[in-house]
């Protein structure tokens, strides 16, 4: 393995879980990154809730060597997300997300709308993945055509409201510039700390 992606609870879309169930793999990025950095020998890529330069810098300070950002790109003009989805990501409601198995049959995070609320109701039967995805896709096509954002699955992470991206190139240029201005000493400090690290509980 050359590198490891550590994805926190905040992330949009499906949970990546292998050893335990998705429901039992919901550690937040702030707790997850340093604990993984302390026990692996490969570079760690931080994912989940990183929406702007502050998140990137925080991830570097926690020991990550790179970041993976997903949700914030959905709002860009270049994204494959529907117009309804992009509009919702730019609206206030994007500040409220939740986890559901209702979109696809696997646990995923999206904007809290009527569809998510109803699919999450106790007793609602959810088909196994990927059958539920096909079922909901049929509804989403009709809902999108009717302009019904309340019935479209709106994949998004908890930092959706931070997205200021319209043009992806301009966004990335400004992100890289902002991070570069302050990241040098943080990366050096974090690397030095890792080298001098006293084995933690996880190592003993
Ligand atoms: C629309 C969408 C679909 C995603 N689908 C998956 C997936 O199928 N499997 C997976 O492991 N991660 C998936 N992700 C998670 C991303 O790979 C990435 O780790 C995550 O978006 C980073 O967190 P953020 O959304 O807070 O930026 C998805 C993310 C989004 C936004």
What is the distance between the alpha carbons of residues 17 and 3, in angstroms, rounded to a whole number?
A: 16
Report yes or no on whether pTM surpasses 0.85. Answer: yes
Q: 197 alpha carbon to ligand 1 midpoint, in Å?
A: 31
Q: What is the pLDDT of residues 43-66, one digit of tens each?
A: 999 999 999 999 999 999 999 999
Q: What is the pLDDT of residue 145?
A: 96
* Contact 69 CB / ligand 1 (< 6 Å): yes
Q: What is the pLDDT of residue 194?
A: 85
* Contact 47 CB / ligand 1 (< 6 Å): yes
Which of 13, 58, 72 maximizes ligand 1 atoms within 8 Å of its Cβ, making it the mutation to test the pocket? Answer: 13
* Contact 153 CB / ligand 1 (< 6 Å): no
Low-confidence ranges of the chain (pLDDT < 70): 198-204
Which residue's C-alpha comes closest to atom 12 of ligand 1? 14
- Token pair listed for 22: 């998705």
């Amino acid at each position: 393995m050359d590198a490891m992606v550590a994805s926190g609870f905040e992330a949009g879309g499906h949970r990546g879980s292998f050893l335990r169930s998705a429901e039992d793999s919901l550690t937040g990025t702030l707790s997850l990154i340093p604990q993984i950095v302390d026990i692996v020998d490969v570079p760690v890529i931080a994912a989940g809730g990183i929406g702007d330069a502050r998140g990137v810098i925080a991830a570097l300070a926690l020991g990550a060597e790179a970041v993976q950002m997903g949700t914030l790109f959905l709002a860009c003009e270049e994204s494959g997300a529907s117009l309804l989805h992009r509009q919702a990501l730019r609206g206030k409601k994007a500040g409220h997300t939740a986890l559901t198995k209702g979109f696809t049959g696997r646990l995923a995070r999206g904007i809290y709308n009527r569809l998510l609320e109803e699919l999450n109701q106790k007793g609602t039967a959810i088909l196994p993945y990927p059958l539920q995805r096909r079922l909901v896709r049929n509804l989403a096509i009709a809902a999108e055509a009717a302009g019904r954002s309340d019935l479209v699955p709106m994949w998004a992470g908890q930092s959706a409201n931070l997205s200021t991206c319209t043009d992806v190139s301009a966004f990335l240029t400004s992100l890289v510039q902002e991070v570069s201005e302050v990241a040098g000493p943080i990366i050096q400090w974090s690397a030095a700390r890792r080298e001098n690290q006293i084995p933690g509980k996880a190592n003993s």
